[in-house]
Amino acid sequence: MIFFLYGPDDYRRLRRKQELFRELKKKYPELTAERFDLATIEGGAGFEGFAKGQSLFSEKRLAILEGVYELESKSAKELFEPLVERKDLAVIISEKEKPLKTIEFLAKLPTAEKFEHLAGAEWLSCARKLAKEEGAEFTPGALRLLSGLYEKNSFGLATELEKLSALGKTIEEKDVEGLGLEKAVEYWPLLNSLKSANLGARLWALKKLSDQNEQAAKTFNILSAGNKQKAAEFAAYDLLIKSGKLDYEEALLALAIA
């Protein structure tokens, strides 16, 4: 049997993986469990041996796999297809991206689960559930504010809830505002703001990109590729960067204030 968990919501996916392990351990107390990183030669060989072998102490075995997408497509298909119907061996695979074409059958298994980022009422409901688990009490407005600040960042929300639960009181909106948190801004709207005719908008976008640890080199290269009017300017800055006379951050600032 293969449990295939995939999707960008790392925190919820991790929790489900941990939950599956507990369920299997409860059902089969003598379960033999091991982890394998298939991105390494040792991990791949270890898993193949584990899958083919038999435990002296338990009839049921569990393999928790990492690095599955590092396998060659053909070998991945040949490896996993026979395991789907196995009763003595359970496999848990957890990946951020959707499966490669040759093993996309994994996503169609009845034991497959997809973990997309939640939004709207679903995300608020998830935040409410996590807050309850941490023993943190919120006013409705405070929880909406906090969940909005951590949208698409469930790990960040869980960490903040753990800290806030230690306050031992009902969290109000002013408490959340006092954390000094700002909602992350999407990358592409910020990139478009760098092209604004308004100097303030360009400088604000540049600061937000820096605050969010976006790579200056990536931003510079994307802007240069889509700005034919300033192609000569970008080329000149690119030459200065590559000759060590300027860095990408300085080039972006110069372009923003020009």
Give residue 212's pLDDT band: very low, low, confident or very high (50, 70, 90): confident
Which segments of 136-237 are extended strands (E)?
137-138, 170-171
Q: Are strands 170-171 and 61-66 parallel, antiparallel or unpaired?
A: unpaired
Residue 97 in tokens: 């991206």
Of residues 258 and 161, more confidence is placed in 161
Is 182 within the bounds of a domain?
no
pTM for this entry: 0.68
Q: What span, in angstroms and rounded, lies between the C-alpha atoms of 96 and 6?
A: 5
Residue with tokens 């996993």: 80
**Residue numbers of the domain that contains 63:** 2-114
Angstrom CA distances, 189 to 32, 184, 194, 206, stand at 50, 11, 9, 12
In a domain, 160, yes or no: yes
pLDDT 10s digits, 141-185? 999 989 988 888 888 899 889 988 888 899 998 888 777 666 656
Q: Considering 91, 114, 137, which residue would you say is the last residue of a domain?
A: 114
Q: Higher pLDDT residue, 213 or 136?
A: 136
Q: Is residue 170 part of a domain?
A: yes
Q: Is residue 31 part of a domain?
A: yes
Band of pLDDT at residue 237, cut at 50, 70 and 90: very high
The verdict on 139 and 192 lying in the same domain is: no
Instruction: Count up the domains in the chain and report the number.
Output: 3
Same structural domain for residues 213 and 128? no
Residues 166 and 233 in one domain: no
CA 11 to chain CA mean position, Å: 8
Same domain, 22 and 56: yes
Residue 73 binned pLDDT confidence (cut-offs 50, 70, 90): confident
Residue 17: inside a domain? yes
**Mean pLDDT value of segment 241-255:** 90
- Higher pLDDT, residue 226 or 254: 254
Check whether residue 108 and residue 162 sit in a common domain: no
Q: What's 28's domain CATH number?
A: 3.40.50.300
Among 159, 55, 216, 208, which Cα is nearest to 146's? 159
- Flag the least confident range among 29-33, 139-143, 160-164, 224-228: 224-228
Report the distance separating Cα 215 and Cα 132, nearest Å: 37
Is it the case that residue 218 has pLDDT exceeding 80? yes
Distance CA 183, CA 177 (A): 11
- Pick from 46, 42, 76: nearest CA to 63: 46
Residues 197 and 161 in one domain: no
Same domain membership, residue 93 and residue 8? yes
80-99 average pLDDT score? 92
Residues 44 and 9 in one domain: yes
Q: Which of 177, 195, 226 is the last residue of a domain?
A: 177
- Same structural domain, 14 and 95: yes
Same domain, residue pair 160 and 251: no
- Per the DSSP assignment, residues forming a β-bridge with 6 are 95, 114
Three-state DSSP state, 240: helix
Indicate if 47 and 95 belong to the same structural domain. Answer: yes
Query: 110: pLDDT confidence band, cut at 50, 70 and 90?
Result: very high
Residues 9 and 100 in one domain: yes
Q: Around Cβ 28, how many Cβ atoms within 10 Å?
A: 16
Question: Which residues is 92 bridged to in the sheet?
Answer: 3, 64
